[in-house]
Amino acid sequence: MLEIKNLHVTVGGQEILKGLNLTISDGEVHAIMGPNGAGKSTLSYAVCGKDGYEITQGSITYNGKNLMDMDPNERAGEGLFLGFQYPVEIPGVSNMNFLRSALNSQRRYRGEDEIAAVDFLKLIRAKAAELDMDPEMLKRPVNVGFSGGEKKRNEMVQMAVLDPSLAVLDETDSGLDIDALKIVATGINRLRATDKSILMITHYQRLLDYVVPDYVHILAAGQIVKTGGKELALELEEKGYMGLGITESAA
Amino acid sequence: MVATQEAKQTVQDVTGEYKYGFVTDIETERAPKGLSEDVIRFISAKKDEPEWLLAWRLKAYQKWLTMEEPTWAMVDYPKIDFQDIYYYSAPKSAEDGPKSLDEVDPELLRTYEKLGISLKEQEVLAGVAVDIVFDSVSVATTFRKKLKEAGIIFCSISEAAHDYPELMKKYLGSVVPVADNYYSALNSAVFTDGTFVYIPKGVRCPMELSTYFRINEANTGQFERTIIIADEGSYVSYLEGCTAPQRDENQLHAAVVELITHDDAEIKYSTVQNWYPGDKDGKGGIYNFVTKRGACRGKNSKISWTQVETGSAVTWKYPSCLLIGDGSVGEFYSVAITNNYQQADTGTKMIHIGKNTSSTIISKGISAGKSEATYRGLVRVMAGAENARNFTQCDSLLIGDKCGAHTVPYIEIKNPTAQVEHEATTSKISDEQLFYCQQRGLETEDSVALIVNGFCKDVMKNLPMEFAVEAQKLLGISLEGSVG
């Protein structure tokens, strides 16, 4: 269970999150929507521990552990995965090597044995096949020369291999055509089927047609201002933020 | 920028803290300090050298006296007092010459064990013949019998002077003339040991030949001399690697390596260099002034240099190729990591003389701390070199904001049919890349290692497997391509 209480986050001297509260129980899928600049990406970075996102007040705990004391890789070891809005390129490092190093690092953190090379190969090939990724892509350097859709598909393959207990997806659906969107949705739903928790940050209702959330939150001006079921996303789609009485300077 | 700070710390951890800083206590027999004709005679007598070699040394010494220390490289270090150096130092047990490993000073063997070089293990597992140079005398040679069956000569330079004088006279100084530069002249006067390799016609050397160099005695300059000859249609892969114990005084190393390929022959020469780089404040460390050159004398012959340079306080090194034979090929693949106050001025010279000659240069420089790395490369196409081709790629990766990377290409073309390409890039490890790796579960230092490894991949993949492992240890990076 992820518990965020009264979270205040400052970036570059400017307060972006101003007392955010959010609880995600095991197996739940939450969607966070909100206007530009509301602090959606800041929330995902703060949860995953990116440098420069300074927590000035409040707390983030995961399964009772204080995440704020942990380095990003330790949080990953605890089961956190961040699907990036803009996955970065790592020239010269094959997808395969990258993911095996990452998985083994997580396993070491959890006191587990490293995965045998043969078992890893089977695992990654199976996951790539589930998400229709050409096995050749696994040998290519991480995200180098990938299209936007390929990068997001790669994020989903990484997520499937690392098998996190909580996935935070930061606008994973942005800039995707319908086919790529379906692939992303497939990745999320497969994870969901194993009773994992998911936090989807999105601009659009579109993704929620494929991954139906248990809760929808609206984030504006650094706080969650409205929470509802899946119908809230539809309402938002219809009326817009203004129609729901939410402005950039809410709260 | 916190991540960048961490990255700098990490690279310090990876390259900075020198793990092999210990000193072996072995009785040594030394020449008196300083350089003179007497010292050279002492060295020559110690090695029981033939008269012609002594004469050759003395001539080199006279030449050296007339020369000036070069200052054009982008390196800065206190003036070396050449009279304050011991020019000969040998482990005493070498006096009688060990017949097998059992006769080698156990202290010495333990030293290598600390370095992770177990001779016994290597003999059995690696299939690598090892000619270890400890200070200045070879103390153990393995696999010689097997090589002998193939007609391959793999011995110390001293032995070659005795046993193969004709080959020695023919090739010594034939690629790097005595007076080529200040340090080659010095080396010619005082070289104490090194390796001699001869691969006969049509023989493909059945194993990778390897020599570990290690500087041990304080204030002992190392003046190794290596000659490798690949006769017609032969092939050899040679590995050179080294670590050194921690010392406060700067230690001078001025090696000369000469490679010769005849028609259709190929030499692949790989180096992993990890000498003590000095401490975090720039105190101590090895001065590495090396002259390495290969001559592709035969048609369609090939010389390939691959180097991973992580150590030394000051590096001055330009493994080069003289492409004399028509259709000959020269290659230079280099990774140079500098950290703290290290300085490296390194690169290559590709001299196209024959027709249809081609060369490839791939240089990857990684600078961290307050270090300076310079790539200095010359591509020269002579008037008679019809259809010469060169491709050069120089990439620099910066970690932190106090280091420097410089690229100084020289291109001289005297034949209009030449095709020469030069590409250069400079980049930094970004916080975004680091966070991406960390978020997937990698620790900071592993993330840096992974990114650096990727950056160097085009060079690392040219290393023989045994050496790639060594390089991986040095760079703290995981090996590419071990899966899949």
Q: Which of A44, A47, A50, A154 to mutate to test the interface with B (most CBs of B within 10 A)?
A: A50
Q: What is the pLDDT of residues B68-77, one digit of tens each?
A: 988 888 888 8
**Touching check for A76 and chain B: CB below 8 Å?**
yes
B3/A contact by beta carbon, under 8 A: yes
Instruction: Answer yes or no: do A97 and B480 touch at CB < 8 A.
Output: yes
Domain ranges of chain A: 2-243
Nearest CA in chain B to A103: B441
Give the best residue of A45, A48, A51, A75 to mutate against chain B (max B CB count within 10 A). A51
Contact B436 A102 (CB under 8 A): no
Which amino acid would we find at residue B324?
I
A20 reaches B (C-beta below 8 A): no
B83 against B331, higher pLDDT: B331
Contacts of A162 in chain B (CB under 8 A): 440-441
pTM (two decimals): 0.79
Q: What is the pLDDT of residue B231?
A: 97
* Nearest chain A Cα distance for residue B242, angstroms: 27
Which chain A residue lies closest to B429 (C-alpha atoms)? A90
Task: List the single residue in A with minimal CA-CA distance to B460.
Answer: A92
Closest approach of chain B CAs to the CA of A42, in angstroms? 14
- Residues of B with Cβ-Cβ distance to A52 under 8 angstroms: 2, 431
ipTM of the complex: 0.96
Residue type for B323, please?
L
Element at B11 (helix H, strand E) = helix B2-11
For the stretch B186-224, pLDDT in tens is 999 999 878 899 999 999 998 888 765 444 444 455 788
Report chain B residues whose CB lies below 8 A from the CB of A105.
440-443, 446
| Mean of the per-residue pLDDT values of chain B | 80
- B235-249 pLDDT, tens digit each: 999 988 755 444 445
Predicted pLDDT at B218: 44
Nearest CB to B436: which of A80, A84, A100?
Answer: A84
Q: Determine the Cα–Cα distance for residues B404 and A47; give it in Å rounded to an integer.
A: 36
Task: Give the CATH H-level superfamily of domain A2-243.
Answer: P-loop containing nucleotide triphosphate hydrolases (3.40.50.300)
Q: What is the pLDDT of residue B187?
A: 94
Look up residue B189 and give its two tokens.
Answer: 């006067």
Measure A83 CA to nearest chain B CA, in Å: 10
SS3 A4: strand
Test A105 with B441 for CB contact under 8 angstroms.
Answer: yes
Q: Which of B432, B439, B483 sits opposite A82 (nearest CB)?
A: B439
Which residue ranges in chain A fall short of pLDDT 70?
Answer: 248-251
Q: Cβ A91–B433 below 8 Å, yes or no?
A: no
- Are B3 and A51 within 8 A, CB to CB? yes
Q: What is the DSSP letter of B83?
A: G
Compute φ and ψ for B287, nearest 5 degrees. -95, 125
Mean pLDDT of B264-285: 83
Q: Chain B interface, mutation test: which of A53, A88, A108, A172, most B Cβ atoms within 10 Å?
A: A88
B92-100 long-range contacts (CB < 8 A, ≥24 apart) are: B92/B26, B92/B27, B92/B28, B92/B29, B93/B26, B93/B139, B94/B137, B94/B138, B94/B139, B95/B29, B98/B139, B98/B140
A73, A82, A122, A144, best to mutate vs chain B, most B CBs in 10 Å: A73
Looking from the CA of B310 toward its CB, the CA atoms found within 13 Å total: 25
A91–B454 C-beta distance less than 8 A: yes
Nearest residue in chain B measured CA to CA from A79: B441
Domain range summary for chain B, segments of one domain joined by +: 2-478
Inter-chain CB proximity A71 and B3 less than 8 Å: no
Does the CB of B5 have a partner CB in chain A at under 8 Å? no
**List of chain A residues whose C-beta atoms are within 8 Å of the C-beta of residue B439:** 48, 50, 72-73, 75-76, 80-82
Name the helix (H) or strand (E) containing A74. helix A72-77
Q: Is A145 in CB contact (< 8 Å) with chain B?
A: no
CA A3 to chain centre: 16
- What's the CA gap between B195 and A174, in Å, rounded? 62
Secondary structure of A77-125 in HEC code, one letter for each residue: HCCEEEECCCCCCEEEEEHHHHHHHHHHHHHHHCCCCCCCHHHHHHHHH
* Strands of the sheet with B302-309, listed across from one edge: B137-141, B129-134, B209-214, B235-243, B266-274, B302-309, B329-338, B358-367, B389-398, B419-428
Look at residue B246 in the predicted model and tell me its pLDDT. 45
B450 touches chain A (CB under 8 A): yes
Instruction: Report CA-CA distances (Å) from A60 to A19, A66, B122.
Output: 12, 6, 52
- The CA distance from B239 to the nearest CA of chain A, in Å, is 24
Question: How do residues B18-70 score in pLDDT, each as one tens digit?
Answer: 445 445 455 556 777 888 998 899 889 888 899 999 999 999 999 999 999 88
Which amino acid is located at A139 in the chain? Answer: K
pLDDT attached to residue A163: 96
Interface check A138 vs B, CB under 8 A = yes
**The pairing of beta strand B89-91 with beta strand B389-398:** unpaired
Beta bridge partners of B261: B230, B296
Q: State the pLDDT confidence band at B309, using cuts at 50, 70 and 90.
A: confident
What local confidence, expressed as pLDDT, does residue B430 receive? 83
| B484: chain A residues, CB-CB within 8 Å | 94, 96-97, 121, 138-139
Burial class (CB in 10 A: 0-12, 13-18, 19+), A203: middle
Instruction: Provide the chain B residues 179-218 that lie in CB contact (below 8 A) with chain A.
Output: none
B441 and A98 within 8 Å at the Cβ level: the answer is: no
For Cα atoms B204, B209, B212, give the angle at the middle one, nearest 5 degrees.
170
B387 in contact with A, Cβ within 8 Å: no
Nearest by CB: B435 against A51, A117, A158: A51
List pLDDT tens digits, range B441-481: 998 878 888 888 888 888 888 887 767 766 766 664 322 22
Q: How far is CA A142 from the centre of its chain?
A: 18
Report yes or no: A91 at the B interface, CB cutoff 8 Å.
yes
